[in-house]
A and B are shown apart, each in its own frame.
Chain A
Amino acid sequence: MKSFQGQSLSWELQDGVVELALHREPCNEIGSTTLADLEKFASVLDGVKDEARAVIVYSALESGFCAGADLRELYQRSQNMDHGDAIKGVRDFLERIHHVMNVIDASPLTTIAAVHGVTFGGGFELALVCDLIIADKMARFCFPELRLGLIPGFGGIPRLKRDLGNGVVRDLLLTGRSFNATKAQQVGLVSQVVAEGESLRVARATAAQLKKFDRRTSAAAKKFIKPIPREELRREIDLFCELFAQPAVEAGLRKFVETTEAQPYLP
């Protein structure tokens, strides 16, 4: 399939590049709708590997790249089921999103996340599966999960650890702070920082450059340098579900959902 228009995202294959655009208001929160669309994307990715050379993931929304998991949906769903079923539902969601993330991570195509604005939680984790992150100077990265009593659940910690020094991982994870694109480049998370509104243009130029190389060599290089930390990813799902069972999580989610303050994204 060369193009797709879903409720939360769309993609198009043109001139050897697949562009995946996120467009779910308010800031591409990842809930069941986005997951279903991402699963469709993952299911066709292998089928376009001979026609495409690169994938660009970006947000079509001005508000940012992605604010992470849809916590409102998570909270509302968990309110309508008993505790055991809620945990089972969370595990099922995590298994599915991990499958999608692993497919994108392992794709022989070179993947580029072109990010701007809020790149938080699950959005940060989506960017981390990509081979390159090109960031608008106004991009901001954060793992705010600990303030809810959780850890990142979409593969964030193992992938961040794969890419960065453990000290930076601990700072991001344990303080829940955010940092900007310049800092992200300093620590090695982002490969290019560009002016406001320029990340997609630069990602396209980067994709055009990498198309010049032999596809098998590019795929082999990627496979060599970017192993998928499968064992740690499995343990992450188990730990997330264990933590999700704690009463503090429900209280944290309720606070997030009910707050009207202008600072809900600030830990």
Chain B
Amino acid sequence: MRTPDQTLGEILTLAATHFKVPRGKLTPDDDFFKTLGIDSLQTLDLLTRLEHHFNVELPDYELQGVSDFRTLADKIQARL
């Protein structure tokens, strides 16, 4: 079982790798739309990658209004 910090770290690493942003530039409270510079289609891409990585199902409506990595990690942690 991952700890919340591990989950958060893996999200940051996955986002940095896929969207080609230096890992060190991402912090837990960043607005990931702005930091990653992603549009709506890329947001769905990130959601799908997170589902595959953590082997969870994330209904989009649970993520409505979520824009920072820390809250995103909390939502995923709740389904691990």
A-side interface residues toward B, CB under 8 Å?
26-27, 63-64, 67, 117-118, 137-138, 140, 142, 175-180, 182-183, 261-267
Contacts and interface: CB of A to CB of B under 8 A. Distances in A.
A261 B66 CA distance: 12
B57 A183 contact: yes
Contacts of B52: 137, 180, 182
27 contacts: A27-B41, A63-B41, A64-B41, A117-B45, A137-B52, A138-B45, A138-B48, A138-B49, A140-B44, A140-B47, A142-B60, A176-B61, A178-B44, A179-B57, A180-B48, A180-B52, A182-B52, A262-B38, A262-B39, A262-B43, A265-B40, A265-B43, A265-B44, A266-B43, A266-B63, A266-B64, A267-B64
Interface size band for B: 10 to 19
Interface of B: 33, 38-41, 43-45, 47-49, 51-52, 57, 59-61, 63-64
Contacts of B33: 262
B11 to A, nearest CB: 17
A175 B44 contact: no
Contact of A118 (B41, B57, B60, B64): B41
Contacts of B41: 26-27, 63-64, 67, 117-118, 265
Contacts of B57: 179-180, 183
Contacts of A26: 41
Nearest to A27: B41
A142 B44 CA distance: 11
